Chain A
């Protein structure tokens, strides 16, 4: 069964460093998403992406964040200068249409020290 994959599973970085989290969505899906879950808190929407453009973003997704689909298979989230409060589990998701079910990857745990 097709699934969303994410790498790495765990990333440790120092405050102020740039990180890139990688996702491979399900191959025929066209809509892509990033969510995050700070330990002990709710899963929060960050951004949605379609047709090489951001279609919706939350207040969390400020200028430190960017997303890219660099090729036909990968979808990346970049945090330019990490802060301690960026420590969280980051989930990628994809869907085949705007109203379709979103399928989530296993997540990348980001730890900022």
Chain B
């Protein structure tokens, strides 16, 4: 079945780059997403990548997809204290429209 795994915690200094990693098992994944959850808030869609792409850049965010290894990463350049949150990786398969989420990576940014 589908499964998405993420590392649980990442701590970086303000101004450094953050890289959050995710692996998934379903080779029929069509879209892969990154969501951000701040304390007490809902899930905010940050960015997504279609499975036929290797990379997508959106301002400070860069998504890299290695489809062969089923590995997805989110790089945040010049990380700010406001980036502190939980980041969820999610996949959607070719059939159906449900999202399958990872457990989330807690990003802590130290000033």
Complex-state Cα separation, A101 to B42, whole angstroms = 15
Report B's interface with A, CB cutoff 8 A: 30-31, 33, 35, 41-45, 48, 88, 90, 92, 96-104
Q: Are A45 and B99 within 8 A (Cβ)?
A: yes
- Shortest Cβ gap from A24 to chain B (Å): 13
Q: Are A45 and B43 within 8 A (Cβ)?
A: no
* Interfacial chain B residues near A93, Cβ < 8 Å: 43
Complex-state Cα separation, A89 to B39, whole angstroms = 13
Q: Is the interface of B mostly helix, strand, loop or mixed?
A: strand
Range class of the A interface residue count = 20 to 34
Partner of B101 from the list A31, A42, A58 (CB cut-off 8 Å) is: A42
Complex-state Cα separation, A4 to B104, whole angstroms = 22
Asked if A104 meets B97 with Cβ closer than 8 Å, knowing A42-B102, A91-B42, the reply is: no
Name which residue of chain B comes closest to A31, CB basis: B97
Name which residue of chain B comes closest to A103, CB basis: B45
* Interfacial chain B residues near A104, Cβ < 8 Å: 35, 42-45
* Interfacial chain B residues near A55, Cβ < 8 Å: 97
Q: Are B99 and A102 within 8 A (Cβ)?
A: yes
Q: Is the interface of A mostly helix, strand, loop or mixed?
A: strand
Complex-state Cα separation, A44 to B1, whole angstroms = 14
Complex-state Cα separation, A19 to B81, whole angstroms = 38
* Interfacial chain A residues near B41, Cβ < 8 Å: 106
Partner of A101 from the list B45, B88, B96, B98 (CB cut-off 8 Å) is: B45
Partner of B33 from the list A33, A44, A101 (CB cut-off 8 Å) is: A101
With A102-B97, A104-B45 known, 12 other A-B pairs at CB within 8 A are A33-B98, A48-B97, A48-B98, A56-B98, A98-B97, A99-B31, A99-B92, A99-B97, A101-B33, A104-B35, A106-B41, A107-B42
Name which residue of chain B comes closest to A3, CB basis: B42
Q: Is A82 an interface residue (CB 8 A)?
A: no
Q: Are A43 and B88 within 8 A (Cβ)?
A: yes
